[in-house]
Amino acid sequence: MLLRILTLLLFCIPVFAKEPLIIALDADLSAVAKTGGVAIKRGALIAIDEINANGGLLGRPLELQEFDHRGNPARGIANIKRIAQLDNVLAVLGGVHTPVALQELPHIHEYGLLYLDPWAAGTPIVDNGYRPNFVFRVSVRDQEAGKVLVDGAKKKGAKRIALLLERTGWGRSNEKSMTAAAEAAGLEVATVQWFNWKQRDMEAEVRSIAESRSEAILLVGNAPEGAVAMRAILDHKDTMELPVFSHWGLAGGTFVKKLGIQALKQSRLFVLQSYSFLKPHAPDLNSNVLRAYQRLFDPKITATNIPAAVGVAHSYDLIHLLRLAVEQAGSANPAKVRAALENLPPHKGLVKNYAPAFSPQRHDALWAEDYFLSHYDSNGYLIPVGLKTE
């Protein structure tokens, strides 16, 4: 009887004789953006679990190895150097922070590492000037995000807008895109205010916004600074009722906990998103991924409360696009896989139908038409604007 059971298991479980192919996760897994980093990790693990259950890649299993940069560019560079010394590295899967990715770019291209970006939105991450370009992104692109956030402000009747931006490469990328989008939409940028990471007070910046007579605020920051900004906006009588259109950095950390539900209920806050399990593109695949998440990580998770849903969805799709490229190339060589990523067939993914995802001239897979705005419900969960929930 025992022999029969073991025989059945051998037929049901893939048996790999070769060393695993490594996907190196380089992200913040323990600091302020760890919610986003963990979401990216889990989306990748769901896809890897599916691939390994179907025989792996080139007869080899996939394995995710974690490198925690904690949002620090120096740590990120050190991680890339460590990853480059490993055997059998197929690709690097990035994290939330644009400033980290920008500093890593020279080293990524020096070592010829494939870099898959499931979150960091800075336009120059992909438009980086490297030829060949080893960066591919399934995520928001700041140049496109600016259009959506400006359009949201315009639809609320704003003619003068204020930009409240973190003083980093991500903030500077958004200043360019938002300013261009505002000009194209006929809106005036009345003021641009900057803040630093770990800044604990923004009263002066918000006062300047009030004095500018702006009618909406466009915010670019991560969860800790985003909570400080929203608290300052709500504390100032001349800005507390202004609509705030935020990039999605808020969703990658503990923004709701830091701001508090009561303050959140008083705000007019709209957050950029590119995926919600409440608004599926492919309902069957959406359900399968959600069930896998519940099975592997947390049985209490629902389509409403899954943390940083965009990180899960983008990462899941990127790993499967990588799978297609390896199969097409018939090789795990990064240069060959890079070329294959530029010439993929159409693919029905979780986020969208990629037709195809990339081309030799285009390494971004998502564009303005793929983004939407969400708002926080009374429980602190992001809900797509216009979606009715019970």
Three-state DSSP at 175 gives helix
Q: Is the pLDDT of residue 11 over 80?
A: no
For the chain, the domains span 19-140+282-368, 143-273
Helices (H), 112-222: 123-126, 142-155, 169-185, 203-211
pLDDT confidence of residue 13: 52
* Structure-derived torsion over alpha carbons of residues 80, 86, 92, 98, reported in degrees to the nearest 10: -10
Closest CA to 99 of 120, 115, 84: 120
Q: Is the pLDDT of residue 193 over 90?
A: yes
Q: Is the pLDDT of residue 17 over 90?
A: no
Bridge partners of residue 271, in order along the sequence: 246, 374
State mean pLDDT over 199-212.
97
Question: What are phi and psi for residue 385, nearest 5 degrees?
Answer: -60, 130
Maximum separation of any 2 CA atoms in the chain, in Å:
81
Q: Is the pLDDT of residue 4 over 60?
A: no
State mean pLDDT over 242-270.
94
Contact between 33 and 222 under an 8 Å Cβ cutoff? The reply is yes
pLDDT tens track for 74-99? 999 999 999 999 999 999 999 999 99
Separation of alpha carbons 227 and 258, rounded Å = 6
The two tokens of residue 145 are 């995000």
pLDDT confidence of residue 252: 82
pLDDT confidence of residue 253: 80
pLDDT tens track for 22-60? 999 999 999 999 999 999 999 999 999 999 999 999 999
* Strand 21-27 with 89-93, pairing: parallel
Query: Is domain 143-273 in CATH 3.40.50.2300, yes or no?
Result: yes
pLDDT confidence of residue 14: 58
Separation of alpha carbons 157 and 383, rounded Å = 22
Superfamily of domain 19-140+282-368: Response regulator (3.40.50.2300)
pLDDT bracket for residue 18 (50, 70, 90): confident
Q: Is the pLDDT of residue 109 over 70?
A: yes
Indicate if 143-273 has the same CATH topology as 19-140+282-368. yes
Q: Is the pLDDT of residue 117 over 90?
A: yes
Closest CA to 351 of 323, 317, 309: 317
